[in-house]
């Protein structure tokens, strides 16, 4: 296989999604309304292909012993494979939750109702689904990134579509204001991590983060750092500052302090399904990038970076929960809780795979914790925002405590879905949030360092604080007086999506082990960036492939 071919083979799902996006873009402008309405279907099919394709492929062409099949790019790195499947699956649920969004826009309703001649300038349906897919593709690309340039482009591909989706899905000044804030502050953050990337390049002289078959034999950030560490040299300040700036810039995507300020305004301004999107996709991309970046340094992290992350984690969860406690709007409370959950995940990032020893089971690694928590938070977040999106008060989106008050009496199923997702967000067993928190905090606890144990204690206190506002929402739903003005929007798909997510929260909470998820995590978290692609002609160069799998270990330098 050619080098280009090998590289392309690692991004199969992204290519599928890009093709889907282009189709949506064009067909969204078709004359026939039927064709225009087929765009969500196309989006759905491309996402299903991303999940089913690799599975079918590997079933059709089983890997020879000792060889890991090149499965439509999914074998690029185990972490990327895990994240790509996660992103595609939760993306499918997000699509279910949001597929009616463009139809509800006044201008679209106007066009459909009047039957007037179709004016391409007035519709945004095609764009919505195209950008939806592109943003997901961007997140997937982040997960598989092996260099700084790739990472930068992938992060931007994740973010740029969201600005347009944000402003076109809601006709309200709130949405416009939110978009402006999101865009400008986002640009500021991009500038910051780009500067950080520059400094990293300056310090190490390379932009490649990890070795892949394509770049075999060349230096990478990882190998350079490993060499410095081996020689006992202190890491250059330029690298540390560069890493710091990169982390801070990417923190914008995960909504961590001090880059969290936009979160509540933007999440509130966005239409509710869009909020669910914003709370999951950029966050996943951000954490994938952070894991890959910090993976080059290796755990335990250098002291200055660890100190910074420690402070960020504490502030992020505390600010998120304390402010979440004070909100009168459910949507804002959930937005702040999204900040808090990023704080929890930073604990896993700090613990990293330091607690891993050879032969230890899976979940001793903070990276596995993050990957699992992305799933756990993803489903619970989707279910809660999905339920909120199903409710309308006089045509406006429901968002205050009064709007959901007494929901149980009017729509018991929506109430049950909301309750499950809230309990999962608190982290109560047997829901997935509980396992997620165990997997996140236990590795930090097992490192045995006082600072990490304190961090776990602070995180647990924060979980207790968060229970207050989550339970307040639950109390409003179950014990409040129902309001006549609030009605259910006829959104079967949205409710189904939330329902599936809530079911997943229960099923994964009980059966993550039984479903083999923990085994996948074990592989995924083993070594971020470790490439498992092996050449098809395995015979003859056993030694070469041996070499390759050893590359990320500290001994492999620039040889």
Where on the chain is the footprint of other proteins (CB under 8 A)? Answer: 180-181, 184-185, 188-189, 192, 234, 237, 240-241, 244-245, 248, 257-259, 261-262, 265, 303-305, 307-308, 311-312, 319, 322-323, 325-326, 355, 359-364, 429-430, 435, 438-439, 442, 446, 510-514, 518
Minimum Å distance from CB 188 to other proteins? 6
**Would you say 70 or 440 has its CB closer to other proteins?**
440
CA 456, 192, 283, 207 torsion-angle sign = negative
Minimum Å distance from CB 13 to other proteins? 29
Is the preceding peptide bond at 258 cis, omega within 30 degrees of 0?
yes
Minimum Å distance from CB 465 to other proteins? 11
**Would you say 85 or 319 has its CB closer to other proteins?**
319
**Would you say 49 or 248 has its CB closer to other proteins?**
248
Minimum Å distance from CB 195 to other proteins? 10
Minimum Å distance from CB 37 to other proteins? 28
Q: Are the beta carbons of 407 and 418 closer than 8 angstroms?
A: yes
Helix ranges (H only) for 255-301 are: 263-269, 272-297
Minimum Å distance from CB 249 to other proteins? 8
Minimum Å distance from CB 261 to other proteins? 4
**Would you say 288 or 444 has its CB closer to other proteins?**
444
Cross-strand bridge partners of residue 391: 488
Q: How far apart are CA 349 and CA 368, in angstroms?
A: 10
**Would you say 259 or 473 has its CB closer to other proteins?**
259
Minimum Å distance from CB 175 to other proteins? 15
The encoded tokens of residue 311 equal 């402070």
295, 188, 150, 153: CA torsion to nearest 10: 150
**Would you say 99 or 193 has its CB closer to other proteins?**
193
Q: Which residues of 387-420 are buried (b: 16+ CB within 10 A; e: fewer)?
A: bbbbbbbeeebbbbbbbbbbbbeebeebbbbbbb
**Contact partners, residue 412, CB within 8 Å, separation at least 6:** none
Q: How far apart are CA 411 and CA 389, in angstroms?
A: 14
Minimum Å distance from CB 306 to other proteins? 9
**Would you say 17 or 306 has its CB closer to other proteins?**
306
Cross-strand bridge partners of residue 37: none
Cross-strand bridge partners of residue 396: 393
Minimum Å distance from CB 513 to other proteins? 3
Q: Are the beta carbons of 254 and 142 closer than 8 angstroms?
A: no
Phi, psi values for residue 33, rounded to 5°: -60, -30
**Would you say 210 or 252 has its CB closer to other proteins?**
252
Q: How far apart are CA 253 and CA 62, in angstroms?
A: 38
Q: How far apart are CA 130 and CA 157, in angstroms?
A: 12
Q: Which residues of 116-130 are buried (b: 16+ CB within 10 A; e: fewer)?
A: eeeeeeebbbbbbbb
Other C-beta atoms closer than 10 Å to the C-beta of 553 total 11
Is the preceding peptide bond at 522 cis, omega within 30 degrees of 0?
no
Running DSSP on this structure, what letter comes out for residue 329? B
**Would you say 39 or 268 has its CB closer to other proteins?**
268
How long a stretch of residues is the chain?
A: 559
**Would you say 65 or 359 has its CB closer to other proteins?**
359
């Amino acid at each position: 296989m050619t080098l280009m071919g090998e590289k392309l083979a690692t991004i199969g799902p992204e290519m599928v999604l890009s093709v889907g996006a282009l189709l949506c873009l064009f067909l969204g402008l078709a004359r026939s309304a039927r064709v225009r309405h087929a765009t969500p279907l196309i989006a759905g099919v491309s996402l299903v292909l991303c999940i089913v394709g690799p599975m079918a492929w590997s079933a059709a062409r089983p890997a020879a012993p000792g060889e890991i099949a090149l499965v439509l790019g999914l074998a690029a790195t185990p972490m990327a494979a895990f994240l790509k499947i996660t992103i595609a699956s939760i993306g499918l649920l997000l699509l279910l939750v949001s597929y009616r969004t463009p139809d509800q826009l006044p201008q679209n309703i106007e066009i459909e109702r009047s039957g007037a001649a179709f004016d391409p300038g007035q519709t945004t349906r095609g764009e919505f689904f195209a950008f939806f897919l592109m943003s997901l593709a961007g997140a997937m690309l982040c997960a598989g990134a092996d260099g700084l340039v790739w990472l930068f482009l992938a992060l931007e591909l994740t973010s740029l579509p969201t600005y347009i989706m944000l402003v076109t899905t809601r006709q309200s000044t709130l949405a416009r204001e939110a978009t402006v804030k999101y865009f400008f502050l986002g640009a500021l953050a991009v500038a910051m991590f780009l500067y950080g990337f520059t400094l990293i390049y300056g310090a190490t002289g390379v932009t490649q983060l990890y070795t892949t078959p394509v770049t075999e034999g060349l230096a990478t950030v990882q190998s350079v750092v490993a060499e410095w560490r081996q020689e006992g040299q202190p890491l250059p300040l330029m690298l540390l500052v560069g890493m710091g700036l990169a982390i801070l810039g990417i923190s914008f995507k995960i909504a961590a302090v001090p880059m969290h300020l936009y979160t509540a305004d933007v999440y509130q301004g966005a239409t509710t399904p869009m909020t669910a999107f914003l709370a999951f996709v950029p966050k996943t991309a951000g954490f994938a990038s952070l894991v890959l970046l910090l993976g080059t340094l290796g755990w335990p992290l250098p002291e200055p970076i660890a100190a910074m992350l420690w402070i960020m984690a504490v502030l992020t969860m505390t600010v998120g929960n304390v402010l979440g406690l004070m909100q009168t709007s459910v949507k804002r409370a959930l937005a702040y809780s999204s900040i808090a959950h990023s704080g929890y995940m930073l604990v896993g990032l700090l613990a990293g795979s330091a607690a891993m020893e050879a032969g230890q089971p899976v979940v001793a690694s903070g990276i596995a914790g993050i990957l699992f928590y992305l799933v756990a938070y993803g489903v619970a977040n989707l279910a809660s925002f999905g339920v909120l999106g199903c409710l309308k008060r006089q045509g406006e989106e429901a968002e205050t405590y009064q709007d959901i008050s007494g929901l149980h009496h009017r729509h018991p199923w929506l109430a049950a879905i909301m309750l499950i997702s809230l309990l999962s967000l608190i982290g109560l067993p047997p829901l997935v949030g509980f396992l997620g928190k165990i997997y996140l905090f236990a590795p930090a606890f097992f490192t045995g360092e006082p600072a990490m144990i304190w961090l776990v204690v602070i995180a647990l206190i924060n979980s207790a604080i968060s229970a207050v506002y989550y339970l307040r929402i639950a109390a409003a739903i179950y014990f409040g007086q129902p309001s006549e003005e609030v009605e259910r929007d006829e959104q079967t798909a949205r409710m189904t999506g939330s329902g599936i997510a809530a079911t997943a929260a229960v099923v994964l909470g009980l059966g993550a082990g039984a479903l083999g998820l923990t085994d996948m995590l074990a592989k995924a978290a083993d070594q971020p960036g470790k490439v498992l692609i092996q050449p098809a002609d395995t015979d003859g160069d056993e030694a070469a492939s041996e070499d390759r799998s050893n590359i990320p270990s500290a001994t492999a330098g620039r040889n």
